[in-house]
Chains A and B, each alone.
Chain A
Amino acid sequence: MTKEDSTPTLRDIQLAMRNAVRAGEHVDTHVNDHQWLSQHLETKSTDSPEKRLEIYRVGYFIRRNEALSVTYENIKKVLGQDAFSVLCYEYIVACGSKTYNLNAEGEDLPQFLKTHWLKEQYPYLPDLAQLEWLFQLTFDAPSYPALLPETAARYGDFLPLTLQPHVQLLKTNWPLLTLLNQETKETPHLTPLGRPCYILVHRDENHQPISREIEPNAFYLLKKSRSRSTLSEVCEAVLTDPEHLTHWFANWMQLGIFQNPSH
């Protein structure tokens, strides 16, 4: 008995529907699945099963596209609606969705852009995408009780430093923060800074992600704090003057950058 003659299993039906929903217009490898699936579907109307399958396929692309538009607001602003739609379409076709969480839809876009044809015209796109992805992580990450100055004082040099999960760091050679603050609707043509820019992303008091440029040593200090080193280990690793250190740590504690070590 051929596959076409037999009653389809639930798994076969679901895989064929997956292929029908995921297929892009220019992807022809699923055509046989479409034909096989259509034989098992019916509509009580003049519409063909293929037309009704199209409802799900379009919905799939729209939902993922909308999710990407929310996460990558600035990429969309730079590219414009049409080019952004093309980028989303190519990304969606190339990368299946592995998570139920639509907020995590764009996780692979920074990597995808590294080899994308749009990078030639906009070489800063992968870094901009990475920054926007960090905003998304910052938005969704949990927060734990923050380190308070009196707790820090109690531990002294042996204070274990752990960043809040919503704290993110990025090093880039592009003036991305200038780009984010730019009001103009014209497509910006950025030139590299000629020096690295160190960016801290964290949450403000309204739980919204914000970013700021920080000094290179401050960046390395925070990076080192990811490994749950003690205060003295972190300071030894990044030699900087004590006045700077005191100022940075006071500021970071005010911002709630570190977790309370007893949590």
Chain B
Amino acid sequence: MKSEWPKLGVGVGLRTVHYEHVLNHIPEMDWFEIVSENFMDSGGRPRYILDKIREHYPIVMHGVSLSIGSADGLDQEYLERLKALIDEVDPQLVSDHLCFSNAGGDQLHDLLPLPHTDEAIRLVVKQVKQVQDFIERPIMLENVSSYFSFKHSEMPEWEFITTIAEEAGCGILLDINNIYVNAFNHKFDPLTFINAIPPHLVGQFHLAGHSDHDTYLFDTHVGPIIEDVWKLYQVALKRFGCVSTLIEWDSHIPPFQELQDEANRAKKLMNITLDNPYDQRRLDAHPS
């Protein structure tokens, strides 16, 4: 369905601790990503802040509770609230995760991995089509980090996500840090993952920090992005081009300037790796 996703440059996640700074200083930033659920059910201060921020920046919506792989099916009430927010915010991109987060009527508040089976592919493809039909937009699914695998998985993760994206007509939000984390946890070469993904499917990158727990890496979104993930990002830029990139930092969130520094590093890498496509993108957007 999508081969041309908007090229937005580099953005950061909008977090409550930065609301005042962003509103008071309107810092230079290409775009902000919001967690959809933080605004779907709130008509108070969060929505007021979002409206103000939308006046200055493009917004991308990223969800954590769509539960696209849930065997229980999709939550229609959730979809209605999501669509209402999409219609109001008119985001540049809409995404969620390739996982499940509820089962048997219980919300688990996590991004739980799916077995890589044909059964899961059929279910997710059907549900992605339902979502896209309902919200009248394409979505992207993000590869999630995981800490175990299923013995009955029938294919590697890259084949699983590619098949779903191609059959459902959705995009892939490629989380570079999650590829790195899973490569360590499941002992595969991260380049194999990146090289297996068709470039036209990729609409966004995520970059984040993680924690080293010795026997496994934990996707905590804490701390700066590590050097190996930056290197992998450069590899991804070469393969996928000037893809919109998000810096995620969700625990022990630092002052906004620190996020800006990370975003600036990503912009610099875009320029170095792709011979100034970042500057070209800006010229395309604002021709003199």
Contacts of B216 in A (CB 8 A): 43, 45, 47, 52, 55
7 A-B pairs within 8 Å (CB atoms) are namely: A17-B108, A41-B150, A42-B149, A100-B67, A102-B109, A139-B44, A166-B43
Apart from A97-B109, A104-B41, list 4 A-B contacts with CB within 8 A.
Answer: A7-B152, A63-B110, A207-B48, A208-B45
In the bound complex, CA of A171 to CA of B151 (Å): 57
Chain B CB within 8 A of A185 CB: no
Q: Please state if B109 and A10 are interface contacts (CB–CB under 8 Å).
A: no
- Shortest CB–CB separation between residue B85 and chain A, in angstroms? 12
Contact of A59 among B41, B67, B110 (CB under 8 A): B110
In the bound complex, CA of A40 to CA of B151 (Å): 5
Do A139 and B65 form a contact, CB below 8 Å, given A22-B108, A44-B186, A52-B147? no
In the bound complex, CA of A14 to CA of B112 (Å): 9
Chain B CB within 8 A of A261 CB: no
Contacts of B215 in A (CB 8 A): 45-47
Stretch of B113-121, B131-139, B166-174, B259-267 on the interface side: B113-121
Chain B residue nearest to A62 (CB atoms) is B109
Chain A CB within 8 A of B123 CB: yes
Q: Please state if A97 and B148 are interface contacts (CB–CB under 8 Å).
A: no
Contact of B71 among A10, A101, A104 (CB under 8 A): A10
- Shortest CB–CB separation between residue A56 and chain B, in angstroms? 6
Chain A CB within 8 A of B287 CB: no
Most central of B71, B78, B114 by chain A CB within 10 Å: B71
Interface band, chain A: 35 or more
The A-contacting residues of B in range 72-103, CB under 8 angstroms, are 72, 75, 78, 100-103
In the bound complex, CA of A13 to CA of B37 (Å): 26
Interface string of A78-99 (1 = CB under 8 A from B): 0000000000000000001111
Interface residue ranges, A against B (CB under 8 Å): 7-11, 13-15, 17-18, 21-22, 39-47, 49, 52-53, 55-56, 59-60, 63-64, 96-104, 138-143, 165-166, 203, 206-208
Chain A CB within 8 A of B227 CB: no
Q: Please state if B150 and A13 are interface contacts (CB–CB under 8 Å).
A: yes
Contacts of B108 in A (CB 8 A): 17-18, 21-22, 56, 60, 97
Do A60 and B109 form a contact, CB below 8 Å, given A10-B114, A10-B120? yes
Chain A CB within 8 A of B106 CB: yes
Chain A residue nearest to B102 (CB atoms) is A100
Q: Please state if B187 and A44 are interface contacts (CB–CB under 8 Å).
A: yes
Contact of A17 among B44, B103, B186 (CB under 8 A): B103
Chain B residue nearest to A19 (CB atoms) is B104
Do A97 and B185 form a contact, CB below 8 Å, given A13-B115, A45-B215? no
Chain A CB within 8 A of B107 CB: yes
Q: Please state if B41 and A42 are interface contacts (CB–CB under 8 Å).
A: no
Chain B residue nearest to A105 (CB atoms) is B109
Chain A CB within 8 A of B244 CB: no
Contacts of A53 in B (CB 8 A): 148
Contact of B123 among A10, A56, A104 (CB under 8 A): A10
Chain B residue nearest to A99 (CB atoms) is B107
